[in-house]
Each structure stands twice: as C-alpha cells, then as structure tokens.
A and B are shown apart, each in its own frame.
Chain A
Amino acid sequence: MPSGEQLAHDAAQRVARASYGRLVAFLAKRTRDVAQAEDALAEAFVAALQDWPVTGIPQNPDAWLIAVAKRKHIDGTRKHKSRADAADHLLLLAEELEDMAKSAPAIPDERLALMFACAHPALDPGIRSPLILQTILGLNAEQIAAAFLVPPATMGQRLSRAKAKIRVAGIPFRVPEREALGERLETVLEAIYACYAQGWNEADHLNNALTEEALWLGRLVVELLPGEPECLGLLALMLFLQSRRKARRFDGGFVPLLEQDITLWDLDDINAAESLLRRAGAMGQIGRYQLEAAIQSVHAARRASGITDWQALCLLYQALYQLTESAVVKLNWAAAIAEKDGVAAGLAALPNATAFPELEPYQPYHAVRADLLARSGKIDEALAAYARAMALEHDPAIRNFLSKQAEKLRHTLN
C-alpha cells in the first residue's frame, strides 16, 4: 500500500506534469526566453514536490508554481544579468504579474502560441518536433535524443541553439492570423505527426511512449483550435494507426497490415477516429490529414466487413497524390492498384526511382517492389529488391520479416 505521503507525491507529480507546458508557455511568452522559463520552472517543480506532500496541493497549483517560478526567475535575473538588463527583465515581469492579477485565477493557455514559435519556419525543420516535445511536455534532452536516435549532447546543443534563435531573432509567440494560419499550422501538425511516426517506427518502450505524447499533443491542438478540420484529421489518423498497435507485432515479429488479426484492433480508438473524421468532413475543407485518415478508415472497415475496399483506396490515394505529389503516396497508390487491378497494373503504376530519387533509400519502396515482382514471377529481380530492402531496414523485426519473405521465394525456385 502506498503511504499517504506517496499518494500526495504522485498527485503533485501529476499536477506538475499536466501544467508543465502551460507554465513554460506563459512564462516565456513575453521574454521569448524559453530556456530561462524552463530553468525557473524546474526549480519551482522541485519546491512543489517537496512542499505539497506536506502542506497539501494548493487550490490553484498553476498559480502557486508560477509565483515560485517568478521568484526563481527574478533571483536568476539578478544573479546573471548586468543591472541595466535586470531592470528590463524586472519590468517585463512586473507587467506579466499585473496581467496575471487581472486574469486571476485562470492562467491563459499560451501553449498553442509556444507550439507555433517552436514550429516557426525560421527554425531548422529537424529540431521543431524535439523542441515541441521538450517545451510542451517537459521531456529532457536525453529522452528526446533517445527517441530521435541522436547523441544526447548533440540533441542538447541543437535544442539550446534553437531556443537561442527564438529569443535572439525575435520569433513571436503567436497563433497566426486566419489567412496566414495555413502554412504555419501545417508545420505544427507536421511536428506532431513526426513525433507520432518516430514512436510508431520503433518497437521499444520509450518510443511507444512517444506515440502517446503525440496523441496528447493532437488532442491539445483539437481542443485549442476546434474549428480546424486538419487538426481533427490528424488526430483521427493517429487514432486509426494506434488502434492497430497490438496487432502489428506477434511474438516480437512484424505482422503486415493485411495479415493482422483484426480482433486485436481497438474498437474504441476506431470509433473515436471515425467520429473525429466525420466532424472534420462536415467542415467541407479537405486536406492531407483527412485524406490519410480516410485511407486508414477504409482499412479499419475490415474490422466489421472482413474485406478491404481497394477501389475506394485507389481513389483516396489518387486524391492524396494530387494534393501532395509525394513519391511515397504514389508508391502506396501503386500497391493499392495491384490489389484492385492485378500485379501487372501495380508494377506499371510503381513510381520509378530515377524519376523519384527520394525512393531509392526508402525501405518500403524496395519491399513493395519485391512483393510485386515476386507475384509476377520475376524471382531474380524480386530477390535483389528484397536484399536492398533488408540492407536499408534498421528494425530487426521488419528485417526478419523481409528475410523470411525472400527465403520463401528461394524455395519456390527449387
């Protein structure tokens, strides 16, 4: 049995965790100094985890944390800045405290503004997702580095460089105006989806936690921008994928979509995704994530009907390709054509790596090609494609799957 103190500690930790991003966003909004806000907040959390189990959780934990963080912030400013700089900072803080008094007890939710700052086009695209993860969720550089397969020191350096750029270059903490929202929102959604994909592509525990974090961010964006259909589309897409998490591995082995045990698919996730997609569709403004979610919805329908509607999939891929002109979409489209019209048609529709050089280092390209070649009897070419796919794959479960496919093919030769 956990002690009363342990329960209070756990509760304090939950409150602290849930408030992290709100408080970083609020503290950094005026100064644009994310690193300093994080430092002050970290000290406030340490104080909270010591005090709360003894004194009880305060009525307004956010306000308590903000007040302590401000004090730490002011102390830190006094210590580190020259007197002239300190005066500027103290003035800003005084203004913020005044704002807070006016809006008390609710602390305005600036997380979306912070996300837009982290996803600003002036920052290196590769650092945007890690930055959102750190500032909104409070993950540390080691956790993020492990998820993105980068040495922790490198990740730490890149994160602090990005935070410095936000401060020095004057990247605003602001949700863009309606007419400018499109491109910027796309960057935010891209960052969230990249976080999800990162977790989805890896099998280990930490990265599965990453998919949960991405879903949490997806729900947050839907809550903060309820009128944006693409936010709903992205959350639906992630939930459709999430519904299959138990079915995609068996005994540690990789199970391709068409061979998955559909009874393992999570119905609650599927139903939630369907309802989000319907809500998005009612807004009459189609986009990339809604189309991708619709594709997953067709696959999910197999849970009820036992069949896959390849005709519908081909149409959806066609629409998605017209929208994105993505080589990967063209590849998936070709795979769907092979199911609808036969292997020869699929091979003919397969994008060519000369025209789309980005496909050459892309494992699924060689795997799909190998499968289609094998099914059309071109065994040698298929084996060569499997070899290339295996060489490109990092996940041992998938590499093992590819190797078994190639092995089966070799048997047909004898």
Chain B
Amino acid sequence: MQYMLMIYGDESGMANMTQKDGEQMSAAYAVYTQALLKAGAMVGGDRLHSSADASTVRVSGGKTKVLNGPYSESKEQLGGYYIIEAKDLDEAIAWAAKCPGAQTGTMEVRPVWKVTM
C-alpha cells in the first residue's frame, strides 16, 4: 500500500533557525531519505516552500476566488511530504515515527487513494 507522510511543523521556529541547526536538520532528513531508499520504501516526496508563499483557491458560483496564504491559519503548517510504500499501517507509522519531523512537529499518515487513468 502507498501512504503519504505529511510533515507538519511550526514555521516560525524554522525561520528563526541558526545556520548550524538548519544544517543539522538537513543532514537528519538526508539520512532518513537514504533509509527509505535503501528499504525500497521511497515512492516520492519533497520539501515545500513556506505557507506564506501559498495561495488558496476556491470556486464559488462560477467565480474563482484566490486568497493569499495557506488554507488553514494554524501554527503548524505542512512543510513537506513523503510518499512511501508500506505493508500496512503499522509499517507506515513506524516510518513516520523515524522522520526527523516527528521530533519537532506532527506527522500525518494517510493511505493514498490510487486513481487509475
């Protein structure tokens, strides 16, 4: 099964990071990504730009409404994601727990609904 691991974290904390902290975080993510690749569990994933660079779109009565910013104004924002292949939810949860993002923020684990085209 495929699961999306969504990494939610406090963006202001991220912005105030020292360069050394930033390097450490990148190294941790690199190790984690390597582990996923080595296990053959990596399907895809990327880091996202800050939610300040997000635009929110909704169509209502045929009119497209665009708003500046993220959909949800909560403190924790989606900062990146992995799509992984796992045997079952327990395996996906185990990978999510190993992600550096789980140390500082929250991981959401969702099964991917494969749409065949």
**Closest CB in chain A relative to B98 CB, distance in Å:** 14
**Closest CB in chain B relative to A183 CB, distance in Å:** 12
Convert B87-100 into 0s and 1s, putting 1 for each residue whose CB lies closer than 8 angstroms to a CB of A.
11110110000000
B80 interface residue (CB < 8 Å to A):
no
Measured CB to CB, the residues of B under 8 A from A are 1, 3, 86-90, 92-93, 111
A298 interface residue (CB < 8 Å to B):
no
Q: How far is the CA of A122 from the CA of B92 in the complex (A)?
A: 12
Q: How far is the CA of A171 from the CA of B111 in the complex (A)?
A: 11
Q: How far is the CA of A190 from the CA of B55 in the complex (A)?
A: 45
Q: How far is the CA of A94 from the CA of B80 in the complex (A)?
A: 41
Q: Does A168 lie within 8 Å of B111, measured CB to CB?
A: yes
**Closest CB in chain A relative to B106 CB, distance in Å:** 15
Q: Does B90 lie within 8 Å of A172, measured CB to CB?
A: yes
**Closest CB in chain A relative to B113 CB, distance in Å:** 8
**Closest CB in chain B relative to A187 CB, distance in Å:** 13
Measured CB to CB, the residues of A under 8 A from B are 120, 122, 168-172, 174, 176
**Closest CB in chain A relative to B88 CB, distance in Å:** 4
| Across the A-B interface, the 4 shortest Cβ-Cβ residue pairs | A172-B88, A170-B88, A170-B89, A170-B1
Nearest B residue (CB) for A32: B88
Q: Which residues of B contact A120 (CB under 8 A)?
A: 89
Q: Which residues of A contact B93 (CB under 8 A)?
A: 122
Q: Which residues of B contact A174 (CB under 8 A)?
A: 88, 90
Q: Does A169 lie within 8 Å of B90, measured CB to CB?
A: no
Q: How far is the CA of A169 from the CA of B89 in the complex (A)?
A: 6
Nearest A residue (CB) for B113: A168
Q: Which residues of B contact A168 (CB under 8 A)?
A: 111
Q: How far is the CA of A168 from the CA of B93 in the complex (A)?
A: 15
List 8 other contacts, CB 8 Å, given A169-B111, A170-B88, A172-B89: A120-B89, A122-B89, A168-B111, A169-B89, A170-B1, A170-B111, A171-B88, A174-B90
Q: Which residues of A contact B86 (CB under 8 A)?
A: 170
Nearest B residue (CB) for A84: B116
Nearest B residue (CB) for A184: B90
| Most chain A CB atoms below 10 A, which of B86, B89, B92, B111 | B89
**Closest CB in chain A relative to B68 CB, distance in Å:** 34
**Closest CB in chain B relative to A92 CB, distance in Å:** 14
- List, sorted by A's number, 24 A–B pairs whose CB atoms are closer than 8 Å: A120-B89, A122-B89, A122-B93, A168-B111, A169-B89, A169-B111, A170-B1, A170-B3, A170-B86, A170-B87, A170-B88, A170-B89, A170-B92, A170-B111, A171-B88, A171-B89, A171-B90, A172-B87, A172-B88, A172-B89, A172-B90, A174-B88, A174-B90, A176-B90
Q: How far is the CA of A174 from the CA of B3 in the complex (A)?
A: 19
Nearest B residue (CB) for A122: B89
Q: How far is the CA of A170 from the CA of B86 in the complex (A)?
A: 9
Nearest B residue (CB) for A173: B88
**Closest CB in chain B relative to A119 CB, distance in Å:** 13
**Closest CB in chain B relative to A123 CB, distance in Å:** 10
**Closest CB in chain A relative to B59 CB, distance in Å:** 28
Q: Which residues of B contact A169 (CB under 8 A)?
A: 89, 111
Q: How far is the CA of A176 from the CA of B86 in the complex (A)?
A: 16
Nearest B residue (CB) for A180: B90
Q: Which residues of B contact A170 (CB under 8 A)?
A: 1, 3, 86-89, 92, 111
Nearest B residue (CB) for A120: B89
